[in-house]
Amino acid sequence: MNQATVVVAVMICITAVRGASVHSVLVRQEGPHCIVKGDPHFETFDGYKYTYMGFCSYKVVAWCGEGVTRPMPLITVTTRETNPKKVGHTQVISLILRRFGTRHFTEVIPDDCSFKLNGREWTTFPYIWPAHGSVHKEGNIFTIESYGQYKVVFDCKIHMVDIILTHPDAIGNLCGMCGNYNGNDTETDELQGYESIDALATAFKAPDPDPGCR
């Protein structure tokens, strides 16, 4: 891989469910997808569907290819309980995307659809990093691309993330909450050697502003 990473942290519900439908107001684009939406529901790159409610930050997509001693986070999300009337239900409260090797990172905060570039508030769209990537915003829809690595479409009002892979060598080299992208959608394979969704989420926790997150 170009040493590029995307980070997305996502919260989910506690039971794994096969066959749940995923509906989107976003226009589906070409390429392998991972979708995170709701409280939240996941659909991995290989099509496995589950829900998991977490209260932390998680590596949704990471690079685990040959020679990598520990997963390099590509996309990370932070999730929290936001509605007191829905105890235990969580939503994405922060979405972080990184381009490994350049120190560039972007962050979207759904509550007010604000956007940060390398830690600074940013309001000029579209914005293009020559040879690296771009960010576009139309209403509440962000489209953020790291060239040759991934594209993320994020609806900051309904807290829905659609991750589209564009790296030619991604297949078989990924890990994280979005699965390992190897063409096998069985639960056993998508758990990536862990015994449960809970264990998978624990393994792919990312640094979180709240050290006591669970």
pLDDT digits (tens, 9 = 90+) for 60-78: 999 998 788 888 888 998 8
Could you tell me whether strands 41-43 and 49-51 are parallel, antiparallel, or unpaired per DSSP bridges? antiparallel
In angstroms, the CA 169 to CA 171 distance is: 6
Cis amide linkage into residue 110, ω under 30° from 0: no
- Write b or e for each residue in 8-32: b if 16 or more Cβ atoms lie within 10 A of its Cβ, otherwise e: bbbbbbeebeeeeebeeebeeeeeb
Cβ neighbours around 134 below 10 Å, total? 16
Is 20 contained in some domain? Answer: no
Residue 166: predicted pLDDT: 93
> Given this model, what pLDDT does residue 161 score?
92
So what's the pLDDT on residue 101?
57
Average pLDDT over residues 75-89: 78
* Type of residue numbered 160: M
On the question of pLDDT at 102 being above 90, the answer is no
Confidence grade of residue 1 (pLDDT, cut at 50, 70, 90): very low
First vs last C-alpha separation in the chain: 31
Question: Which residue segment(s) compose the domain that 116 sits in?
Answer: 33-206
The mean pLDDT of 90-96, rounded to a whole number, is 84
- Statement: residue 20 has pLDDT above 50: no
Cα 13 vs. chain centroid, distance in angstroms?
15
pLDDT score of 103: 62
Confidence of residue 84 (pLDDT cuts 50, 70, 90): low
| Counted domains in the chain | 1
Can you give the pTM of this predicted structure?
Answer: 0.81
Residue 10: pLDDT over 50: no
Residues 104-152 pLDDT 10s: 678 888 778 899 888 889 999 999 988 889 999 999 999 999 999 999 9
* Residue 30 pLDDT class (50, 70, 90 cuts): low
Helices (H) and strands (E) in the chain, counts: 2, 16
